[in-house]
Amino acid sequence: MEPKIDVLATLEAKARKTTIEELQQKGRRQLKVIRASEISGMIQESIRKTLEASELLPREQVDELVDRASAEFEELKEARIKEQRQARELATKLAKVQQDLEEAQKELERAHQECEALRQQGGAAAAPAALADGGASAAVMMKMMEELMALKAQVQQGAQGAAPAAGGNAAGLEEQLSKIAGALDEKLDRFGKKMGLSSAVDTATVDFSKLADRALEESAKLESNVDDVEIEKRKGAGIMGNLDKIRKMRGGG
Amino acid sequence: MDQERTEDQTNDFEAGMESASSSATSTSKLLGRGLDIGTANIAAAVQTEEGGVEVAVERNAFLDIKADVYSKNMLTKLKVPYVVHNGNLVVLGQSAFELANIFSRETRRPMSDGLISPSDVDALPMIQLIIEKVLGEPAERGENCYFSVPAESIDADNNVIYHQGLFEGLLKKMGYTAKPINEAHALVFAELADQDFTGIGLSFGGGMVNACVSYKTIPALQFSVARGGDWIDKNVAQVLGIKASKATSIKESGIDIRDPKTREEEAVSIYYRNLIHYLMENIQVRFQSGQDMPSFPDPIDIVCSGGTSLIGGFIEVFQDEFSKLDFPIPIRRIFRAEEALNSVAKGCLVAAAIGE
Ligand SMILES: Nc1ncnc2c1ncn2[C@@H]1O[C@H](COP(=O)(O)OP(=O)(O)O)[C@@H](O)[C@H]1O
């Protein structure tokens, strides 16, 4: 492929950023502005003139060259605008995810504090309340986990969307989003472990059906040959003796 | 202490079961299923028409390979179970394990440390497919299915509630009435009928060992340790500077840990001894410090099961390590379950049939 000259990128790279205050300090009251596309137009015009004047190439080839250059320029310009828009969208998404995450953490913290307060209020007499509270806190955690999982999916989608945008900015965001996805994984694990530690929790109070639904839905959609494959089956001795024994021990027939 | 299970005892027990089975099952097939959701294998037990038990098994392991038409056709032709997931071909179960060995790769085992964790959510549809495959559909809606869960670990932060709730949810959606039962408690239900379900059940799996001290079907103490066959493999691999999968194949190659012949076998033997000692020491400490522990007037049995207990010389080495302890409970015999790979699933089936 021929090397392309990205006029806009070059202009951007060479340009220096300054603030209005800085200019004012230097005593500047007015600025003349020019569009980048005009500069690029002027460059192209001068190339055409130089080439024509040099008489190195016939006129048609000069025209063709100039046409190709302007098409490339337009293409590059479009790509850059798209990249900038994507980078802006990703930045907004990132901010939103960070905010949601903070809120989720705060809510979890609050739930913990409430549980702690309840636990401290009741002494031995409040044991059943503490049990119920354990269930509630697990339910809250379950909800949190579902939310975090949804967030994680959102972040992953964001990271995938960032991949085609070639700009350095977008790549940086992609990295940041993956980092957040990683952090979310850790958080999910930790929440889960916390739930596991509270052995007083009655699982009946925690609703896992949504997660189960999702797994079932997803597995039903998967392309697979599992139905056509045989699996290992082992024969073993029966269990009726065991059942009779248990029934007898429990005073049954 | 009579540490060997004698032929006579075995025969009596089975004869007893058969006569009971002919009287109780002549009319209808027993409803209910037992499901052992292990770190290495998922096994489902169901009663057969003849009154025996059939256990369907699949490895709880996956292998990702690049999806292309050629590979997919090949897998289909060879009847290797796969799913297409996120653009990848994921080989399931035993075949994943075999392919990984051929290509010197490690399989993906989302439950390797004993439990499914919230970050394994990606693997859930695949695990669910394996469960569906081994368990099949309920014979009638609401059929009992008891599934094994590990006990809280004494040495790792484990998330039993999430794991338990998730599988309960999945099985319910499949049309079962699902109930969890502790893995080692299920082992007691399967193997200690002739002792009135009194004794110690030790399930030696891949990711962990589960222990249950039971008194007349009631568990008095149950816990798990985050060490099992994988822990042995990892440590053997580390000291010998080899891959864990290589250590697994040495361990499973039919060696006898009473009489290690090579440096590798020596390493396997050392870690087996360490695991057994660690486990029994923990039962001892917990039993002594626990409240409301039953007192056992008569000596009780210790039954071992699970893939890790299959190694040659296991029971003898167990007895040797046991004799070094001042164990607080009198022990009559230590033995390995005859169907060491089926016991937990069968115990779950017993619980399902009783509706425990
Ligand atoms: N013949 C054998 N000798 C020694 N270890 C074995 C043998 N067969 C299987 N294992 C080990 O048993 C473990 C799996 O046991 P299993 O009871 O299926 O586990 P889980 O209940 O965790 O699914 C693995 O670590 C495997 O290497």
User: Measured between alpha carbons, how far is B36 from B134 in angstroms, rounded to an integer?
Assistant: 10
**B68 and B209 fall within a common domain:** no
* The pLDDT of residue B5: 41
Residues of chain B contacting residue A211, judged by C-beta atoms under 8 Å apart: 121, 124, 166, 169
Judge if A98 and A62 occupy the same domain.
no
Are A29 and A56 in the same domain?
A: yes
pLDDT in tens, B203-220: 999 999 999 999 999 999
User: Which residues have CB under 8 Å from A114's CB, separation 6+?
Assistant: none
Residues B191, B315, single domain; the answer is: yes
**Range of lowest pLDDT (A30-44, A119-133, B137-151):** A119-133
Q: Is residue B51 part of a domain?
A: no
Least confident of A171-180, A200-209, B63-72: A200-209
What mean pLDDT is predicted for residues A177-195? 57
Band (B94; pLDDT cuts 50, 70, 90): very high
Higher pLDDT, B275 or A207: B275
B81-111 CB burial, b ≥16 within 10 A, e <16: bbbebeeebbbbbbbbbebbeeeeeebbbbb
Residue A118 sits in the same domain as residue A223: yes
Q: What is the pLDDT of residue A146?
A: 61
User: How high is the pLDDT of residue B114?
Assistant: 83
Give the pLDDT band (50/70/90) at residue B268: very high
Band (A160; pLDDT cuts 50, 70, 90): low
Average pLDDT, chain B: 88
Report chain A residues whose CB lies below 8 A from the CB of B161: 138, 195-196, 198, 201, 203, 206
Residues A33 and A113 in one domain: no
SS3 call for B345:
helix
Cα separation values, B62 from B97, B122, B127, Å: 7, 12, 9
More confident residue, A210 or B9: A210
pLDDT digits (tens, 9 = 90+) for A57-71: 777 887 787 788 778
Q: Is residue B49 part of a domain?
A: no
> Among the three residues A21, A48, A81, which one is the final residue of a domain in this structure?
A81
Amino acid at B145: C
Write the DSSP string, A40-95.
HHHHHHHHHHHHHHHT-S-HHHHHHHHHHHHHHHHHHHHHHHHHHHHHHHHHHHHH
E-strand ranges in chain B read 33-37, 41-47, 53-59, 62-66, 82-85, 88-92, 143-149, 176-182, 199-204, 209-215, 218-225, 300-305, 331-336
Compute the distance between CA of residue A207 and CA of residue A147 in angstroms, rounded to an integer: 14
As given in the structure block, the two tokens for residue B89 are 């071909």
> How far away, in angstroms, is B204 Cα from ligand 1 center?
8
pLDDT greater than 60 at residue A110: yes
> Is A238's CB within 8 Å of B117's CB?
no
Interatomic CA distance for residues B146 and B352, integer angstroms = 5
C-alpha separations of A30 from A22, A26, A33, B304 in Å? 13, 11, 10, 89
Question: Is the CB of residue B198 less than 8 Å from the CB of residue B332?
Answer: no
Q: Would B285 be classed as within a structural domain?
A: yes
Smallest CA–CA distance from B26 into chain A, residue: A240
What does the alpha-carbon distance between residue B85 and residue A245 come to, in Å, rounded to a whole number? 47
Same domain, residue pair A124 and A222: yes
Classify the phi-psi angles of A55: left when phi > 0, otherwise alpha if psi is within -120 to 50, otherwise beta. Answer: left
Asked whether residue B96 falls in the same domain as residue B202, the answer is: no
DSSP state of A228: G
Whole-number Å distance between alpha carbons of B22 and A240: 9
> What is the mean predicted confidence (pLDDT) over B284-313?
92
Q: Which two tokens stand for residue A116?
A: 């702690």
Mutate which of A243, A247, A250 to disrupt the B interface (most B C-beta within 10 Å)? A243
- Six token digits for residue A32: 């003349």
Mutate to test the interface with B, among A229, A230, A247, A248 (most CBs of B within 10 A): A229
CB of B17 closer than 6 angstroms to any ligand 1 atom: no
Looking at the structure, do residues A13 and A45 belong to the same domain, yes or no? yes
A13 and A97 share one domain: no
Query: Which residue did the predictor score with more confidence, B51 or A107?
Result: B51
Of residues B28 and B54, the one with the higher pLDDT is B54
Residues B109 and B127: their CA atoms lie apart, in Å, by 10
B148: Cβ below 6 Å to ligand 1?
no
DSSP track, B114-156: SS--GGGGGGHHHHHHHHHHHH---SSTTEEEEEEEPPPBSSS
Pair A140, A147: CB distance under 8 Å: no
Q: Is residue A239 part of a domain?
A: no
| Same domain membership, residue B236 and residue B101 | no
Check whether residue B22 and residue B76 sit in a common domain: no
Range from A13-27, A136-150, B270-284 carrying the lowest mean pLDDT: A136-150
Q: Is position B206 within any domain?
A: yes
pLDDT tier for residue B15 given thresholds of 50, 70 and 90: very low
Indicate whether residue B308 lines ligand 1 (CB < 6 A): yes
Q: Could you give the number of structural domains in chain A?
A: 2
CB of B339 within 8 Å of a chain A CB? The answer is: yes
Q: Looking at residue A89, what is its pLDDT?
A: 85
Based on the domain organization, do B77 and B9 belong to the same domain?
no
B250 lies in the same domain as B347 = yes
Mean of the per-residue pLDDT values for chain A? 69
**Do A212 and A189 belong together in one domain?**
yes
Higher pLDDT: A111 or B69? It is: B69
Query: Cβ(B68)–Cβ(B74) under 8 Å?
Result: no
> Amino acid letter at B217?
T
Q: What pLDDT sits at residue A130?
A: 32
Give domain status of residue B131, yes or no. no
Between CA B37 and CA B345 the distance in angstroms is: 9
**What is the per-residue pLDDT for A161?**
52
- Tokens in use for B195? 């002792």
Question: Which residue reads 């869960």 in tokens?
Answer: B149
Q: How far apart are CA A102 and CA A223, in angstroms?
A: 38
Cβ–ligand 1 distance for B307 under 6 Å, the answer yes
Assess whether A210 and A140 both reside in one domain: yes
Same domain, B239 and B286: yes
Q: In chain B, what percentage of residues exceed pLDDT 70?
A: 92
- Average pLDDT value for residue range B104-114: 85
CA distances from B320 to B4, B48, B313 (A): 14, 39, 11
Closest ligand 1 atom to B114 CA? 22
- Provide the CATH number for the domain around residue B302: 3.30.420.40
Do A183 and A105 belong together in one domain? yes
Shared domain for B247 and B348, answered yes or no, is: yes
Asked if the Cβ–Cβ distance from B126 to A219 is below 8 Å, we say yes
- Over range A102-108, report the average pLDDT: 79
* A45, A105: one domain: no
Domain that holds residue B271: 3-36+142-172+180-355
Q: Are residues B188 and B232 in the same domain?
A: yes
Shared domain for B89 and B168, answered yes or no, is no
Domain limits at A36? Answer: 7-81
Mark which of A81, A97, A120 sits at the end of a domain: A81
Number of domains in chain B: 2
The DSSP letter of residue B332 is E
Q: What's the number of CA atoms in the CB half-sphere (13 Å) around residue B181? A: 32
The highest-confidence range among A162-166, B152-156, B158-162, by mean pLDDT, is: B152-156
Residues A21 and A131 in one domain: no
Kindly state whether residue A238 falls inside one of the protein's structural domains: no
- Give the mean pLDDT of A153-160: 58
Average pLDDT, stretch A221-246? 92
Q: Chain A: nearest CA to B128, how far in angstroms?
A: 7
* pLDDT tens digit sequence for B224-245: 999 999 999 999 999 999 988 8
User: Which tops the pLDDT comparison, A87 or B282?
Assistant: B282
Task: Please check whether residue A2 lies inside any domain of the structure.
Answer: no
Same domain? For B14 and B98 the reply is no
Return the DSSP state at B307.
G
Residue A26: inside a domain, yes or no?
yes
pLDDT higher for A138 or B56? B56
Q: Which of B14, B56, B30, B50 is nearest to B349 (CA)?
A: B30
Distance (Å) from CA B252 to ligand 1 centroid = 8
Specify whether the CB–CB gap between B5 and B302 falls below 8 A.
no
pLDDT value for A137: 47
